Structure 1
Amino acid sequence: MRDTYLDTSKAVLIFLVVLGHFLERMVGWNDPIAHTLLGTIYFVHMPAFIFISGLLFKDKNWLKNILFFISLYVPFQILFPAFDAIWSGNMQINRNLFERPYWILWYLLGMMVWTLLTHFLIKTKFAVWIALILALCVGLSPWNNYQYSVGRIFTFLPFFVIGAVYGKAIIQSIRSIRYAEWFGVLIFIGIFSLVYLSQINQFWLYGSLSYQQLKVSAFEGTLIRLGCMAVSSLGIFAIFAIVKQCQSRFLKLGINTLPVYLLHGFVVILISKYWKLESHILIELMICFGLSLLTCWILQQQSFDMLLRKMSLWLMKPVERLGLK
């Protein structure tokens, strides 16, 4: 039986993902208001989404799940650059196509690595601590953390591991706290204020670069990354607390988050190529909000989920014939 509370939470988070990408492509980070809204979204949406992914982690299916994400990652890593090239007119072939996951596809690569690492980490008593150390230490690496999304994968690893190890207990605690939604609202006001006052560099929120690439010392970088993770943890509490008031709404969207996540990228690319927003910032925000609602409503249809399942058969069908369960 599905958990409607989790489905509602996933629906809210996938909407924030789509909204964040429309804002980023069509408005950008330069305007202080847009920067504040984007920063608040980015502090919360992917850490919370990855936390839920960890919560739904089933160790008995770990290898099959990795293969499923490979089956989607490979074709979409070809389709997205091809689609972008068609509309941009740049038809140059990238020989290092799989060196960098295309834009949103880092999450699929992340799911492969998080699933693999968590399979082994949960067999230890220090899974969360190991994940946290890896998240902080990846910023110390001398290589480009953007390559193969290694920075993002390890920076967000603790949220997946915490979800896998303590997720159910955390959700149960949040749901039992009286007036938790009001604490959640206060936390969001605090995050919003922090981003507005600091105008934090968005690359800290992406988790994609090393401390050297971000031009800070190892000590300063470790503290900032730890601080960002703490703020994101508060944001996760806030989002789940506020969702308590949604009362099992938007379930269809929450059930079909994967097709919305993968396919909305095509919509954002296409619209942002041909529609340049040059209005008042509030009008631009409202347009992006409306486009996000429409995109989510269209892509939540079951037919798109069925399409992804069929796309995965090129790998999953041979795997099933081999008897992998």
Structure 2
Amino acid sequence: MAEKREYLFDNIKGFIIFLVVWEHFAGVTIRSGSLAGDLLCTAVLLFHMSVMMFVSGYFSKNLGRRNMEYNIRKVLIPYMLITVLVALGEWVVSGRLRLKIFSPGFALWYMLVLFLFRMLLPYLTRVRHVILLSFLVALLSGMFPDVERFSTLGRAFTNLPFFLLGYYCSGEHVEKLRNWMKRPERIIYTTAFVILTFGSAGMAIQNDWDANVYRNNTTYAAAGMSNLLGMECRLLFYLIGCFAILCFLACFSRKRTFLSRAGKNSMVVYFFHIFVYRLIDHIPYISGGSLLNFILVTLLSAATVWLLSMDIWSKIFHIVVNFLGDFCFGKQKS
């Protein structure tokens, strides 16, 4: 019997993966060309991975004894495969072979962090008040220089609270939230979310802050902030992320929509849009913050998500990944 899909989360993932692709494409095309482009990119950065981590945590329940093998098959092997392919692609283009396994660049950090979180889950769940402690550690971690040297470590600290919130969130919690947040509440919370997000993005741009400080890619000092101001900005980042999660859970449809396929195959889109990004980065035809370029980047992002979310690519990808998994562990029992 086929597993019943939760289209609510497919739709959320579909929207988020579009934002991920759009932000990456816009970052090398329209962002530096206009204030509006910079504002939109910064605003998206403030919440899209928070929601993605929440959803990842939500679907990390009940791994049990299969935790180790399952995560190597589903997370680590795909991560290693794409890391090698990206390194080979850069070698072909630039002549330099740099295989960065433990310090992944660009979008691949997410998979390494997800693998780490899932492997640590059996131990994290034994810690009392682990969600509260994870927020505290994330706030304090921006004070230490190791965060800048090992950016994946900083991202792990920053995103762990959202992952744990997703892990401890149940279907019953989602149902209660949707029953409580009727139309007036949804309008109020969504308005607050939009104001907070764009206000924070504008504040970062106006003060010439490194937006990475919100996500713990850099230290507070390196971003030109005092520790107190940095922690205040980080708290704002968490507030925005929580608002985004609440609004998305309450507002997105539970029925199958045009976003559902992209959500179902979001991991394949996430991996392979990296190669499209590399092409765009080396073809400077779309540059500058004009309205036309904004439309072109948006259409290109939508087309990339639509094409890469086709089931054929997912099937091919999983055939390769399953082959590598069977090579490491033997054939899975049906």
Cα offset, 1:5, TM superposition = 1.0
Cα offset, 1:29, TM superposition = 4.5
Give the Cα–Cα distance (whole angstroms) in 2 for the partners of residues 136 and 30 of structure 1: 32
Give the Cα–Cα distance (whole angstroms) in 2 for the partners of residues 162 and 51 of structure 1: 6
Give the Cα–Cα distance (whole angstroms) in 1 for the partners of residues 289 and 136 of structure 2: 44
Q: Does 1:277 align with 2:286?
A: yes
Give the Cα–Cα distance (whole angstroms) in 1 for the partners of residues 70 and 137 of structure 2: 23
Q: Does 1:294 align with 2:300?
A: no
Gaps of 5+ in 2: none
Match of 2:186 among 161, 174, 181: 181
Residue 194 to residue 216, structure 1, CA distance change in 2 (3 Å): closer
Cα offset, 1:207, TM superposition = 2.5
Match of 1:39 among 30, 38, 42: 42
- Residues 64-213 of structure 1: matches in 2 within 5 Å? 64-68=69-73, 69-87=75-93, 90-94=94-98, 97-147=100-150, 149-176=152-179, 177-179=181-183, 180-190=185-195, 191-199=197-205, 201-213=210-222
Q: TM-score, normalised by structure 2?
A: 0.87
Match of 2:7 in 1: 4
Cα offset, 1:31, TM superposition = 2.1
Residue 279 to residue 228, structure 1, CA distance change in 2 (3 Å): closer
Give the Cα–Cα distance (whole angstroms) in 2 for the partners of residues 135 and 62 of structure 1: 25
Cα offset, 1:323, TM superposition = 7.6
Deviations 1:97-144 (A, max 9, x none): 324203110011011111122221122331212222222232222324
1:184 and 1:238 in contact (8 A); partners too: yes
1:184 and 1:239 in contact (8 A); partners too: no
Match of 1:227 in 2: 236
The one-letter code of the counterpart of 2:291 is L
The one-letter code of the counterpart of 2:152 is S
Give the Cα–Cα distance (whole angstroms) in 2 for the partners of residues 30 and 64 of structure 1: 46
**Count of residue correspondences:** 321
The one-letter code of the counterpart of 2:234 is R
Give the Cα–Cα distance (whole angstroms) in 1 for the partners of residues 333 and 192 of structure 2: 45
Residue 198 to residue 211, structure 1, CA distance change in 2 (3 Å): closer
Q: TM-score, normalised by structure 1?
A: 0.89
SS in 1 for 2:198: helix
CA root-mean-square deviation: 2.4
Cα offset, 1:288, TM superposition = 0.9
Q: Does 1:261 align with 2:267?
A: no
1:99 and 1:148 in contact (8 A); partners too: no
Residue 287 to residue 295, structure 1, CA distance change in 2 (3 Å): same
Residue 178 to residue 205, structure 1, CA distance change in 2 (3 Å): same
Give the Cα–Cα distance (whole angstroms) in 2 for the partners of residues 323 and 11 of structure 1: 29
